[in-house]
Amino acid sequence: MNSKMVTGFASFFIVIYFQKLIEVSGELKSFPLSERIKDGVDKSLHTRKHNDEGSSFDQTLAEKIQNRKRTFSENICLEPSDRYRTCYQRAADPSNNLRKDEIQRREYNRGVKRYEKGKNYRIEPYSPPYVAEDEEIMTTTFHLELNQDSTQLTCDEKVVMEEVVLEYLRANIGNDDTFLPICAVVEEWKGYDEVVPDGSGEIAVTTACQMDVTYVIKKDYKDEIDGSSYRRLEAEEDLPAIDGTSSNMIERDRQTRELQKRCSIFWRPLCCAGHAINGDSNSRTCLENGCSRRRCPPKRKKRTKNSSRTNNRFGRDGDRRKLETYTDLPKKLYKKDFNKILNEYTNFQPERTRAIVGASDTLEVASCSVNRYLEDVYEIPFSCDVYEADNCEKNEDIIFGRNEDVCQASSIGSSPTLFPTYFAT
């Protein structure tokens, strides 16, 4: 074969290659938006700075999510719910060769499919994470309330929320010597909305999620907490003012001496999670159990195995994480605003987000949140009848001042929509 024929064949294949590339590009641009993008969301929102000339490298949030959906096989949410659906596969586990803990979403999906066929796989549903001899696991529950967000939590959205919560908590609480978040699951979600009774036609809405978070806890740390919480007195200035004031110091001293007997190993990770998500907002339940922010262990950077090495298939660890998780989150989440993370990197677009510790009912959390929002934003009194019926003292988890009214004996009364409590299941 002479050189002219070789050149001809090469030219032919190059032309075919570029034609296919153009066709694929056209298909990607015309690919319909995911049904996960709810009505009302600004679909032109860019996750990177927009180029005025319309660079092809710019991607909207909707396009990025659509690309993620094509990368992964369908997410599967088993019934009954799998507490270990979203977990870190651990570098400490001798059965794998990971350099650091990571969520392996695609591997879990494959494991579920084989499980449904009666076959075994490396990652199996309903299987707890690896626990070393000097560790034990513990699961706690809190609720997330998302004001002015009515996202329907499909299986995909549950997975997104689980990965965001788990990675955010891992970046902000615990350390290798105390406890670390290892799994997170949306066990239940409910929604509640009411028409604002001012004639505007606006709607106040809250989506509430029950989050079950599993931790690995060092046994030495647990023994230290269990042994010291009943005998160690902390400095008076480190203890909370439960009633929101400092006027009655004698009563406060009596309360705080009782409280410092608590903040047990059960409450400590749970309250640290609430403090991290809520930022400056304190949890009444946590303070009543002696768990102020100062009880949270300092966050220390985790040591990884061979962190400078490069993985031939996935690149560096950060690139591998982006391929393995369903949600494309930034690497640095330490002390970031949780509500902003939801708005910038997911379909959830809440006006504000709070973690509720100690709540007893997901639907009541949503209802209390809507009525409090109506009072805070529209100055519509919170009816004491509703406050008591929905057990809002427990389901709001808010600290009020001594002279502050938590509800009003009489209320204008808001107007529920046709489906005030049942748009969620």
Output the pLDDT for position 301. Answer: 58
pLDDT tens digits along 169-210: 999 999 999 999 999 999 999 999 999 988 888 999 999 999
pLDDT tens digits along 127-141: 999 999 999 999 999
Output the pLDDT for position 227. Answer: 74
Output the pLDDT for position 274. Answer: 96
Output the pLDDT for position 267. Answer: 94
Output the pLDDT for position 403. Answer: 74
Contacts of 138 (CB under 8 A, 6+ apart): 214, 215, 217, 265, 266, 269
Enumerate residue ranges in the chain where pLDDT < 70.
1-73, 228-261, 301-323, 410-425
| Separation between Cα atoms, residue 265 and residue 269, nearest integer Å | 7
Nearest one of 398, 184, 236, 218 to 297, comparing CA atoms: 218
Instruction: Report CA-CA distances (Å) from 167 to 76, 189, 336.
Output: 20, 20, 12
Output the pLDDT for position 396. Answer: 94
Output the pLDDT for position 226. Answer: 82
351's tokens: 């006006």
pTM exceeding 0.85 = no
